[in-house]
Amino acid sequence: MIVELRTYTLKALRTADFLALYEQAALPLQRKYLGHLIGFYVSEVGPLNQVVHLWGFDSLAERERRRAQMEQDPGWSGYRDALRLLDVIVDQETRLLKSASFSP
């Protein structure tokens, strides 16, 4: 299994704005196209104003195929336009993690 770990660092006091837009516009599309949402989290201790989400894929090829399908959906470009206007993202980091042989 491949796990995509994506971290967004947001402007202070703007996490709720990001989450509202994400839940309404992005999450339905990501569930439709990406499939396996492992978890969605907000930082509580340590660096604040961060949102972290994890998505599971059988392979890198599956991830690429699913993301390409999502990019073709007009709703996704609408979400990205709305996110750009919201202007809350300071930084974004994406990691792809490969399961160890003994991982559940």
Taking the C-alpha atoms of residue 33 and residue 62, their distance in angstroms, rounded to an integer, is 11
Taking the C-alpha atoms of residue 65 and residue 76, their distance in angstroms, rounded to an integer, is 15
Residue range 2-98 in CATH 3.30.70.100:
yes
**pLDDT averaged per 10 residues in sequence order, the chain, 104 residues:** 97 97 98 96 96 97 98 97 98 96 88
Taking the C-alpha atoms of residue 11 and residue 68, their distance in angstroms, rounded to an integer, is 29
Number of Cβ atoms within 10 Å of the Cβ of 25: 17
At residue 2, the pLDDT reads 95
C-alpha to C-alpha distances, 95 to 53, 56, 69, nearest whole angstrom: 11, 12, 20
At residue 7, the pLDDT reads 98
How far is Cα of residue 2 from the mean position of the Cα atoms in its chain?
14
Query: CA-based diameter of the chain, in Å?
Result: 44
At residue 103, the pLDDT reads 87
Whether this model's pTM surpasses 0.75: yes
